[in-house]
Amino acid sequence: MVFTENTFKNCLSKLNEINAILFFQPNFGLAVNMAEQIKQNFEHDEVVVLDFQDIEKTFIQTLQDNLCDGFFATKKIIKVYNFKPNGKSKLKDEIKFLNEQKFNDKIVLFFAPELDGKSTFKTIFEKGSLTASIACYEDDEKTANQYINDYFSERNIKIQPNAIKIMAEMLHGDRQLLKSECEKIILYCNNNEITEDDINNMVINEQSANPISFADNLLSGNIKQAIKEFNLLEKEDTQIILICRSFIRSVEEIMSIKQQILNGTNEEIAIKSKFLFWKRIPLVKKSVQILTMKALENYIKTAIQTEKMSKIYGNDIAKQYFIRNAILFNIK
């Protein structure tokens, strides 16, 4: 089965007919929001969280163990994060069991922001009678604009068109970031109408404490500003795992632009293809020019290792690892 954001209501109505859903493409925030709606509509006693990268070698057995009822039947939602299997592995054959028999009061949600539309696994979920796939593409400005307009309209809150335009331009991409900013604006704005000035004062001024702004400055070599922004993130108690996930997306963005350029695309066109907020463009352009693919790959490895450490040793130890290996080594 195949669903989209626009047909997601049909998916919610068929939850009792589905064993597993694959959320793929990079808009992780959109996938999380859809998963939350599933949680609200699927009766369950327990939510089980699995990290594919931590249990890759025993993944099928671990998943099947959680699907077994045991002595007492338990209604479960099983969430599988960081689903990034090797397309050549035997897993593509083993995972076909998801379509062999309807589970009893269980549903498995796979989060695979790095899988694209050509993936074998996407095809398995798409063609199965008991599985479904949902593409979670990054929000462009038009989609973000519509989301913002609907969000405030549903709450009977007036917002000026220019205010919507600024928010959409700055915050398009990941739905969770956009939703968080909308929630924040409602909390802090007591006006009868949200204005362009409100957005300028709240959203734009807060970009220095935004993980994306931190990543842009670090990757472009503006280390002093990056450290300043990282300190602001710390003061706001932003978890290192969230910083790392945003950081990885920024690095992958740079890698994608560089690859387009290597394939013959003009630099300006390659950068424009990412629909970047205009204030980010100079930093992104500098990052593209000064960083090698090898350096970018090393950044990703460090961020992934930091995320793993946060799950094992906690936020503080992982944060120190990230500071030492991703930030301080840049200081000459």
* CATH assignment at residue 228: 1.20.272.10
Residues 145 and 125 in one domain: no
Residue 41 — pLDDT band, cuts 50, 70, 90? very high
Residues 22 and 121 in one domain: yes
Structural domain containing residue 174: 141-205
Is 132's pLDDT higher than 60?
yes
DSSP lists the bridge partners of residue 106 as 76
Q: Helices H, strands E: what count in the chain?
A: 16, 8
Who has greater pLDDT, 284 or 187?
A: 284
Q: What is the pLDDT of residues 271-326, one digit of tens each?
A: 877 767 667 888 999 999 999 999 999 999 999 999 888 888 888 899 999 999 99
Per-residue pLDDT at 332: 43
Domain with 156 in it: what CATH number?
1.10.8.60
200: which DSSP letter? I
**Final residue before a domain boundary, out of 77, 105, 135:** 135
Reduced to 3 states (helix: H, G, I; strand: E, B; else coil), residue 98 is helix
Per-residue pLDDT at 176: 78
Angstrom CA distances, 224 to 206, 219, 331, stand at: 18, 12, 9
**Final residue before a domain boundary, out of 165, 181, 205:** 205
Residues 193 and 279 in one domain: no
Pairing of strands 76-81, 106-112: parallel
Inter-axis angle of helices 175-188 and 141-154, nearest 10: 40
CA 79-82-85 angle, 5° bins: 110
Rg from Cα positions in the chain: 21
- What DSSP line would sit under 249-279, residue for residue? HHHHHHHHHHHHHHTT--HHHHHHTTT--GG
Per-residue pLDDT at 212: 87
**Final residue before a domain boundary, out of 83, 102, 135:** 135
Residues 85 and 99 in one domain: yes
Pairing of strands 2-3, 20-24: unpaired
Q: How far apart are CA 315 and CA 166, in angstroms?
A: 33
How many domains does the chain contain in total? Answer: 3
